[in-house]
Amino acid sequence: MKKANIVTNILVCSYNELTEEQKKVIDCAKDACTRAYAPYSCFSVGAAALLANGEIIKGSNQENAAYPSGICAERTTLFYAGANYPDTPVCKLAIAAMKDGAYITEPTAPCGACRQVILETENRYSSPIEILLYGEEKVYIVSSIKELLPLSFGKENL
Ligand code: THU
């Protein structure tokens, strides 16, 4: 028997240290938060996906009185991108969140279901997606969902 350790590589930085392109995608995710439909959780999440053609797709969480029928911002965004630009890879995905009218200070990480969908999107285009997690005090950057979803289940398992 032996112990195996999995390492997650995260870049921690401030908004000012980002490239102009990274800032633009984050700004879009912050803007998307303002259009969340989150009357039940009062937690507004925004996501923005930069596509390989330079377009940025925005989405937000859309809740439902029947709670499981709602959907997260990341999946709203990636499903829209996949449905409307099926041949265009996603290069970057930014996520921001708002609570009590203010952007959260610590970055919010995608939930398990969204991680699985981000993985599917990477696999679909055979292209890693840089993920930018925004917090007012710091930003986390990972170069691929594989950092956040190790030991994943994907098409190679079928
Ligand atoms: N939410 C997202 O939109 N993305 C995440 O990664 C985490 C959670 C939403 C779902 C729900 O509308 C609200 O945040 C509270 O869980």
CATH architecture of 11-148: 3-Layer(aba) Sandwich (3.40)
**Whether pLDDT at 96 is above 90:** yes
Q: State the closest ligand 1 atom to the C-alpha of 73, by its place in the atom list counted from 1.
A: 3
Strand 130-134 to 90-99 pairing: parallel
Check if 41 has its Cβ closer than 6 Å to any atom of ligand 1.
Answer: yes
Q: What residues does each domain of the chain span?
A: 11-148
Check if 73 has its Cβ closer than 6 Å to any atom of ligand 1.
Answer: yes
The pTM of this model reads 0.97
Share above pLDDT 90 across residues of the chain, in percent, rounded to a whole number: 98
- pLDDT computed for residue 155 by the predictor: 86
Q: Which of 121, 127, 137 is closest to 81 using CA atoms?
A: 121
pLDDT, tens digit, 9 for 90 and up, residues 15-73: 999 999 999 999 999 999 999 999 999 999 999 999 999 999 999 999 999 999 999 99
100, with CB counted inside 10 A (0-12, 13-18, 19+), is exposed
- pLDDT computed for residue 156 by the predictor: 86
| Residue 74 is a catalytic residue | yes
- pLDDT computed for residue 154 by the predictor: 87
